[in-house]
Structure 1
Amino acid sequence: MRAYIQANKSGEFYNVNAFIAFEGFASLGWEIIKFHDVNEMKENNPEDIVVGGIGNVRRRLEKLGIERSQREIDYPDSLSSYFGRKIWTTRI
């Protein structure tokens, strides 16, 4: 299996979360591929994992033809028992 993990232009992981994802996937024996922009990806396998910023993940979902809700918080209600916290939409 393959995990694409976002890096900056220097090839360093773009934040600590990307590095932690790298450590986890590497320990599972996954192939790790760093990317800067999701448009660099040549493969189009929907089973590959993409770890990156919101914009890159959204573009990847679009490329795969996966429609998503336009709401920012769109977790399915069936997963709410796993959140470990209350998640809601509000306005300031």
Structure 2
Amino acid sequence: MANTPQSKKRARQNERRFQINKARRSRIRTFLRRVEEAIASGDKSAAGDALKAAQPELMRGVSKGVFHKNTASRKISRLASRVNALG
């Protein structure tokens, strides 16, 4: 348990940041799930549109510090190759 005023404040800030980052992660996962579902259905145009919507969300997560840059790039790359393979 936090004892000093500074550590109490840091605990409050950490909880607030945790909630914000949790919401961002959840939003990004929703976009990724939409791409996965479009790929599973075999609809290339829907998968492409979903991927186009997911890319900026992932990179926004990077700029906000939720994901590492390489993690987002890897996810985008793998999803893009799967969308392109739909043919």
Same fold by TM-score, threshold 0.5 exceeded? no
Higher strand share: 1
Q: Between Structure 1 and Structure 2, which shows a larger proportion of helix residues?
A: 2
Give me the TM-score of the superposition, normalised by structure 1. 0.29
- Which structure's CA Rg is the greater one? 2
